[in-house]
Structure 1
Amino acid sequence: MADTPEELDTWVAELASELGIDVTEVPTGALLDLTRDVAHGVTRPAGPLTTFLVGMATARGTDIDAAIATAQSLVERRTA
């Protein structure tokens, strides 16, 4: 398996379809940026867990952009 942007897009589209999620609602770039920032600024295992928590918040009604911004703000405060 090669790590290409096309393969990532294919994976996201396939998984979103299987989960019944509209792929246009998945801010892939923002989530990857957040995961990277958390992994480097907090601890590596916190990256995917943060993404999961953002997803949980979104499922409970929080706007996805607001959830990402909240997490990003916390990372910035912790790494300042």
Structure 2
Amino acid sequence: MTENDRTLPPEALDDWAAVLRERFALAEDDLPIALILDLARDVANGVARPAAPFSAFVAGLVAGRAGGSPGDVRAVVAAISELALAHRSDPGT
């Protein structure tokens, strides 16, 4: 597999999301692809690229502990994105 084969447009994730939904009995709303990709972008640009998958994991962990609803996920992702954007603009970082 070449590097270009692994770089997919966001809509190409639909097939992978379907596999994950089937395997783990998840609903469509349980996998907000655009929201998570936006989180990864904000963290990668505001903090560092390696912080993006780590932050996505943290978002899932915190949202799960908060109850795991789609609203919980959106709230946690918004908070992490906000932190990442503030981190980028903080001259001390």
TM-score bracket, shorter-length normalisation: 0.7 to 0.9
Q: Please tell me whether Structure 1 or Structure 2 has the larger radius of gyration of its CA atoms.
A: 2
Structure 1 stretches of at least 4 aligned residues deviating more than 4 Å after TM superposition: none
Alignment partner for residue 48 of structure 1, among 43, 53, 60? 53
How is 1:1-80 mapped onto 2 (pairs within 5 angstroms)?
1=5, 3-60=8-65, 61=67, 63-80=72-89
Name the count of aligned residue pairs.
Answer: 80
Q: Which amino acid aligns with 1:27?
A: P
Give the superposed CA RMSD.
1.8
Q: Which runs of 5+ in 2 are unaligned?
A: none
Cα deviation for residue 11 of structure 1 reads: 0.3
When normalised by structure 1's length, the TM-score is: 0.84
Rounded to whole Å, the distance in 2 between the matches of 1:5 and 1:78 is 26
Q: Which runs of 5+ in 1 are unaligned?
A: none
Measured at CA, do residues 70 and 4 of structure 1 come closer, stay the same or move farther in structure 2, by a change above 3 Å?
closer
When normalised by structure 2's length, the TM-score is: 0.74
Rounded to whole Å, the distance in 2 between the matches of 1:49 and 1:78 is 16
